[in-house]
Structure 1
Amino acid sequence: MNIAAVYHEAKSRYAYAYDKDTLHLRLRTAKNDVDNVKVIYGDPFNWGPKSKDDKTYTEHVWKYESTEHLNMVKEYETDLHDYWFIAIRPKYRRTKYVFILEKGDEQLLYGCRYIVDISKNKEKVLDLFNYFNYPFINPIDVYKAPEWVKETIWYQIYPERFANGNKENDPKNVLEWGSIENVKNNMFFGGDLEGVIEKLDYLANLGINGIYFTPIFTSPSSHKYDIINYFEIDPQFGDIQVLKTLVKEAHKRGIRVMLDAVFNHCSFYHPFFQDVLKYGEKSTYKDYFHIKKFPVFAGNPKDFHFDDDKNVLNYDTFAFTPFMPKWNTEHPKVKEYLLDVARFWITECDIDAWRLDVSNEVDHAFWRAFRKVCDETKPDFFIVGENWDDSYAWLQPDQMHSVMNYEFMFPVWSFFGHRSIKATEFKYKINKLLCLYPKNIGEYLFNLLDSHDTTRILNICQGNKQIMKLAYVFQMTFGGTPVVYYGDEIGLAGGHDPDNRRCMIWDENLQDLDMFKHIQKLISLRKTYPLMRELDIKWVDTNDNTNHLIYKKQTKDGTLYVVINNQNQPLNLMKEELVGDFYDVYNDKIITIKSNYIVNPYGFLILKKLCKNKE
């Protein structure tokens, strides 16, 4: 066996409490290297006589909980590794455990301190010194998130470009709605919160039940990620009363509301930073930011051009833009100020969630305090971080519930859009994602296909709307909580930022109504069939020649199959497991699959297995 590839870590994503009674254990081995893995586990303090007849307790032995060693399931595979899984329920909520790896006649015991061949050293099997330890399942340490999120389909709105409901608050330099396709971030088209209120019935008809807004607080830009006043709605969007109305009307329709918290940085024109620029080292706020030396800045920030050798900033910022100085969130007054912001909008407007901009650059201590404030203010509040890679360190019970799941988006782009990977590699990448986080976290990840920070999914799919439909089929049949970026549902195109921020199209003659119906139907099906929301995937078939996927979602309540034909040729579906009678849930009809079945080019099937009548 390839011992170097074997990996487990106690109290980690490899060993975690799924709930107050259940532990999930994972083990990684080299691909196709191990035939079977068993687990021995038991309470570390459960010792007793070797036999029932020993009334004198002359010889004590450890009593492990299972009468037979338990077999793990080889749950997922990647190009390099196999991942094994088991759920156990320690009787007293604490346990020691060890793994036995089997390959042919070889048996290796894998513990926390050494690996040993137990066919030659049987006495090592019960050496608790070598057992991994889960000391105790403390309920407060178990990851939890609001139950409502599992059933939420989000819709991301970039307010300045969604809808103009009140021309009275338009900026002076407003442009005619949709008059320019090649948009820039310094352009204004008059989108506002009243426009969103007017379109709530449209959103309810689409079927979404959560709205994520990019920032809406006072800022000189169209994107509002450079905030001047965190306690004020930007006047071009409305005011606090308009937001209160929006939230109330959204809640009437069963739609939750998430705002964007920009706590990594603020605007160059924020009064605190302006005070630093004016008074330098004498400023009350000089320690609110990461100042390297004084004077902090001279001249017009618009003229600044970063150069690593010749022209660097005297203060930390988001990226290298002088317009966004970075907050020192370790400073008590900064922490108090920003936490007051978080509390204020929950209390005043009854919002349901915060999305945290650039969350991976803010210290963990701040996010722990932030989580505490949110939990105390509204117990079923939801928090999503903007992290672009492995985020396990932030997804702890005392920090964030979820992150924008770019680890989901990139493989989807590669397989459906860029066509840079085939079906098998796509499966491996999705499997790796499914093993990246504990299952109770995976159920809440914010799964996106695009956003205000990326090229739109239609452009990623090279303008092919049939392929884009397939990407949405995969997203809506995947676990977690999916999000639709505004306009995707009517075929809005756009390259990278800022081209991905075009004005929403409201003329139905210019909308792709077929795409709208497709996404609307997938949303409806996801609500109707909980199997679509199940996290775990069982792969039935992937084929690199035909580039198709077949996978299933399975629980005690039934089985749902998904077939995706990611090629421009018909797929002759020949799979023994898919022979029989099925309910085609997308097309609302019963079909019978015999020895083969034709799936159209870039077509798909979502099939519910029909149970045979008992005779």
Structure 2
Amino acid sequence: MLFAWHLPVPPYVRYHAEHLEIRLLVQGDDELPQQVMLRCEPDNEEWLLTMQPEKQGSFTCYQADLTLLAGEAVRRYCFKFLWNDRQQWFGPLGFSVVPPAQVEQFAIEIPTHSPEWVADQVFYQIFPDRFSASGQDHTIKNDSYYHYAVQRKVIRKEWDEPLTEENASSTFYGGDLDGIVERLPYLQGIGVTALYLNPIFTAPSNHKYDTEDYYQVDPYLGGNDALVRLREETQKLGMRLILDGVFNHTGDTHPWFDRYQQRTEGAFYDPASPHRLRFTFTADGRVLDWKGNSTLPKLDFSSQAVVDSVYQADDSVLRHWLREPYQIDGWRLDVVHMLGEGGTARGNLHHLAGMYRAVKNENPQAYVFGEHFGDARRWLQAGVEDGAMNYMGFALPVRSFLAGVDVAYQPIHLDAQQCAEWMNGYRAGLSHTQQLDMFNQLDSHDTARFLTLLADKPQRMRMALVWLFTWIGVPCLYYGDEIGLDGGNDPFCRKPFPWDESRWDGDLLALTQRMTTLRHQSSALRRGGCMVVHARADTLVFVRQYEDEILLIALQREGEGLCVLPHSPIIPAGSWEKANGEGKLVREADYIELALPPESATVWRWAAA
């Protein structure tokens, strides 16, 4: 059998001013190929470069140079093996008898538009009304205003009052931005380095995806001044800050629309309104909205006014908040794949490209990532996002493997091989930089809590957390995951954070702190390549490597697991130090053997002999 190893990181790739030095390691009992060629497309036309072999112990190293003087920024390549009577190809998904598709080859971005800092972060998502309340005078109260969408005044509950489904969007707990400021020491203590906030702009609901004013932080969250205070305090701690941009639709109380005639010139009642073309109305006067939600009319990006307001004009929303005194570090773009012209997604990529350019013109190091429950690779390959919420490439396969439910919470059973094929197949369509910048979460404000999905298997939450911090991509905790906060679908996934420490899962919090520390200390976890080395039944094992730093991560879902891993360039001889978990590793002359207890996640770090 023939084996080959390559990752798009050092030591397999070396960067030089005018070329990349590409190395492939090969070993096998079968006859080695007469020739190995590096296939690339520097100017959208196939080049085949003969690779030079060099014996290195029991392996043969093949090397060739890939030019940087031609071609697009995303450099895609794979390997062609030639014998006298046959050929094989090798790419991210392994060997095949036919060439891998262009978008399923190894890919390196040079130069990259992606911000350099993202891969080094541990993110924390906060639903502002439910994280922490400062109790300042601006806090919302019972009957503070009338919530037209649900035809009642808003409700203010005490922090420890139970959450109910009734009046879900109009029930508030008083969390605010100053409350977040007060809890920054806690966040720093658990290893968080970046915050992603759900929408904070003025809106009548507690979730604030029904924007009423894009230029004002909601007064009940503390207003614009509170955002300045939060920004100043996060900067002092070296923390990044990302805001949620909702540009597919507004709320129906936005002055442009004004369903309830609170102002003048709203489009809903006035066909002659100067804002009428910002929305799409049918012949019978019905407005096109987001997925049948009449309170969320879709913006029509065929309107130049919308284009200017959102991204093109100098004072556009996207640009405004990137500037002083706010200086946010980027945008998460809500339902970004649905944005477009005429109440549809027509022209979507064109407008996202404009939004991306606008952000990068203000701050080339800003992070732009979109919400995609489905396949985001079309948008990523088009270069209109740095990354995406990685539901399809991380959250859903992990949920399916550990909790046994799919995106619709319907039963599914995956073995480790199927799970690995899903995750590997998805990321094969992304450059290495994009893989590092994918926004990995176990759950969010739009899903049931992962702990709740696990039902009678809560121990698997520990497996999931280890997986989150060791798989390729940037990890994000949804507030409360680290202390065992549970909850079903919206609104129950949005419970107030319980600040009474007696209600915390202390072991889970300690594990979170160990894993954030490990990630911050490890270049392999932050920047390295990723390769699955064993996937069978309930056992999944993968490696993260950067230069000579190698971490081995073993996940065991059910039963006792035993696997043998022969020595290779990514499982070298030497000592393996356990960094986390209860698994056991035995070193033999030609292999290592792993013994894994049920529902476990173990991490080892390699050290040369």
Aligned residue number for residue 356 of structure 1: 333
Change in Cα spacing, 1:244 to 1:96, as seen in structure 2 (3 Å) is closer
Equivalent pair of 1:18/1:143 in contact (CA under 8 Å):
no
Question: Within 1, Cα distance between the matches of 2:598 and 2:564?
Answer: 16
Q: Which amino acid aligns with 1:289?
A: F
Question: Within 2, Cα distance between the matches of 1:290 and 1:431?
Answer: 41
Question: Within 2, Cα distance between the matches of 1:365 and 1:540?
Answer: 40
Aligned residue number for residue 548 of structure 1: 539
Which of 309, 312, 335 matches 1:337? Answer: 309
Q: Secondary structure at the match of 2:554?
A: strand
Question: Within 1, Cα distance between the matches of 2:440 and 2:330?
Answer: 16
Q: Secondary structure at the match of 2:321?
A: helix
Q: Secondary structure at the match of 2:289?
A: coil
Alignment of 1:414-453 (within 5 A): 414-418=400-404, 420-453=413-446
Which of 223, 247, 250 matches 1:266? Answer: 250
Query: Does residue 413 in structure 1 map to residue 411 in structure 2?
Result: no
Aligned residue number for residue 186 of structure 1: 170
CA offset at residue 332 of structure 1? Answer: 1.2
Q: Secondary structure at the match of 1:421?
A: coil
Query: Does residue 106 in structure 1 map to residue 53 in structure 2?
Result: no
Change in Cα spacing, 1:538 to 1:168, as seen in structure 2 (3 Å) is same
Change in Cα spacing, 1:205 to 1:364, as seen in structure 2 (3 Å) is same
Equivalent pair of 2:49/2:64 in contact (CA under 8 Å):
no
Question: Within 1, Cα distance between the matches of 2:330 and 2:76?
Answer: 38
Query: Does residue 230 in structure 1 map to residue 206 in structure 2?
Result: no
Change in Cα spacing, 1:549 to 1:93, as seen in structure 2 (3 Å) is same
Equivalent pair of 1:469/1:515 in contact (CA under 8 Å):
yes
CA offset at residue 532 of structure 1? Answer: 1.9
Larger Rg: 1
Listed one character per residue, the Cα deviations across residues 311-360 of structure 1 (whole Å, up to 9, x for unaligned) are: xxx22111101000000123111111122111111113011111001100
Equivalent pair of 2:52/2:63 in contact (CA under 8 Å):
no
Question: Within 2, Cα distance between the matches of 1:509 and 1:244?
Answer: 33
Equivalent pair of 2:18/2:68 in contact (CA under 8 Å):
no
Aligned residue number for residue 299 of structure 2: 327
Q: Secondary structure at the match of 1:366?
A: helix
Aligned residue number for residue 583 of structure 1: 577
Q: Secondary structure at the match of 1:539?
A: strand
Moved more, 161-170 or 246-255: 161-170
Question: Within 2, Cα distance between the matches of 1:206 and 1:44?
Answer: 44
Equivalent pair of 2:463/2:555 in contact (CA under 8 Å):
yes
Question: Within 2, Cα distance between the matches of 1:108 and 1:571?
Answer: 33
Aligned residue number for residue 519 of structure 2: 526
Aligned residue number for residue 484 of structure 1: 477
For normalisation by structure 1, the TM-score amounts to: 0.75
Q: Secondary structure at the match of 1:282?
A: coil
Question: Within 2, Cα distance between the matches of 1:43 and 1:189?
Answer: 56
Q: Which amino acid aligns with 2:250?
A: C
CA offset at residue 533 of structure 1? Answer: 2.8
Q: Which amino acid aligns with 1:291?
A: F
Which of 344, 363, 374 matches 1:378? Answer: 363
Equivalent pair of 2:267/2:275 in contact (CA under 8 Å):
no
Aligned residue number for residue 126 of structure 1: none
Question: Within 1, Cα distance between the matches of 2:76 and 2:606?
Answer: 41
Change in Cα spacing, 1:88 to 1:331, as seen in structure 2 (3 Å) is farther
Alignment of 1:306-317 (within 5 A): 314-317=286-289
Q: Which amino acid aligns with 2:86?
A: E
Equivalent pair of 1:39/1:97 in contact (CA under 8 Å):
no
Aligned residue number for residue 113 of structure 1: none
Aligned residue number for residue 114 of structure 2: 145
Equivalent pair of 1:318/1:325 in contact (CA under 8 Å):
yes
Change in Cα spacing, 1:176 to 1:41, as seen in structure 2 (3 Å) is closer
CA offset at residue 564 of structure 1? Answer: 1.5
Of all paired residues, the percent bearing the same amino acid is 28
Q: Which amino acid aligns with 2:85?
A: D
Q: Which amino acid aligns with 2:402?
A: F
Listed one character per residue, the Cα deviations across residues 30-50 of structure 1 (whole Å, up to 9, x for unaligned) are: xxxxx99954669999xxxxx
Q: Which amino acid aligns with 2:123?
A: W
Change in Cα spacing, 1:171 to 1:584, as seen in structure 2 (3 Å) is same
Which of 549, 553, 563 matches 1:562? Answer: 553
Q: Secondary structure at the match of 1:367?
A: helix
Q: Which amino acid aligns with 2:338?
A: E
Query: Does residue 158 in structure 1 map to residue 151 in structure 2?
Result: no
Moved more, 144-153 or 161-170: 161-170
Question: Within 1, Cα distance between the matches of 2:495 and 2:514?
Answer: 25
Aligned residue number for residue 322 of structure 2: 346
Question: Within 2, Cα distance between the matches of 1:98 and 1:524?
Answer: 35
Listed one character per residue, the Cα deviations across residues 369-396 of structure 1 (whole Å, up to 9, x for unaligned) are: 2222212222211111112222233225
Question: Within 2, Cα distance between the matches of 1:24 and 1:320?
Answer: 51
CA offset at residue 423 of structure 1? Answer: 1.1
Equivalent pair of 1:226/1:267 in contact (CA under 8 Å):
yes
Question: Within 2, Cα distance between the matches of 1:44 and 1:145?
Answer: 20
Equivalent pair of 1:580/1:592 in contact (CA under 8 Å):
no
Listed one character per residue, the Cα deviations across residues 102-155 of structure 1 (whole Å, up to 9, x for unaligned) are: 588335999xxxxxx9xxxxxxxxxxxxxx999xxxx99954211110101110
Higher strand share: 2
Question: Within 2, Cα distance between the matches of 1:366 and 1:599?
Answer: 49
Which of 481, 492, 501 matches 2:494? Answer: 501
Which of 241, 259, 262 matches 2:225? Answer: 241
Alignment of 1:194-213 (within 5 A): 194-213=178-197
Aligned residue number for residue 11 of structure 2: none
Question: Within 1, Cα distance between the matches of 2:514 and 2:547?
Answer: 25
Question: Within 1, Cα distance between the matches of 2:373 and 2:289?
Answer: 18
CA offset at residue 501 of structure 1? Answer: 0.6
Query: Does residue 609 in structure 1 map to residue 606 in structure 2?
Result: yes
CA offset at residue 88 of structure 1? Answer: 5.3
For normalisation by structure 2, the TM-score amounts to: 0.76
Equivalent pair of 1:158/1:501 in contact (CA under 8 Å):
yes
Question: Within 2, Cα distance between the matches of 1:181 and 1:133?
Answer: 49
Question: Within 1, Cα distance between the matches of 2:581 and 2:377?
Answer: 39
Change in Cα spacing, 1:40 to 1:238, as seen in structure 2 (3 Å) is closer
Q: Which amino acid aligns with 2:162?
A: I
Alignment of 1:244-323 (within 5 A): 244-274=228-258, 275-277=265-267, 279-294=269-284, 296=285, 314-323=286-295
Give the root-mean-square deviation of aligned CA atoms: 3.9
Question: Within 1, Cα distance between the matches of 2:269 and 2:551?
Answer: 65
Question: Within 2, Cα distance between the matches of 1:409 and 1:218?
Answer: 30
Query: Does residue 177 in structure 1 map to residue 159 in structure 2?
Result: yes
Moved more, 373-382 or 146-155: 373-382
Moved more, 315-324 or 596-605: 596-605
Question: Within 2, Cα distance between the matches of 1:96 and 1:494?
Answer: 43
Equivalent pair of 2:246/2:334 in contact (CA under 8 Å):
yes
Change in Cα spacing, 1:293 to 1:434, as seen in structure 2 (3 Å) is same
CA offset at residue 600 of structure 1? Answer: 2.9
Aligned residue number for residue 125 of structure 1: none
Listed one character per residue, the Cα deviations across residues 234-284 of structure 1 (whole Å, up to 9, x for unaligned) are: 111001111111011011112100000000000111111123455432111
Q: What 5-or-longer segments of structure 2 have no aligned partner?
A: 1-14, 24-32, 55-61, 91-96, 143-155, 259-264, 340-347, 405-411
CA offset at residue 212 of structure 1? Answer: 0.3
Q: Which amino acid aligns with 1:248?
A: E
Equivalent pair of 1:19/1:142 in contact (CA under 8 Å):
no
Listed one character per residue, the Cα deviations across residues 161-183 of structure 1 (whole Å, up to 9, x for unaligned) are: 11111242232321111311335
Aligned residue number for residue 123 of structure 1: none
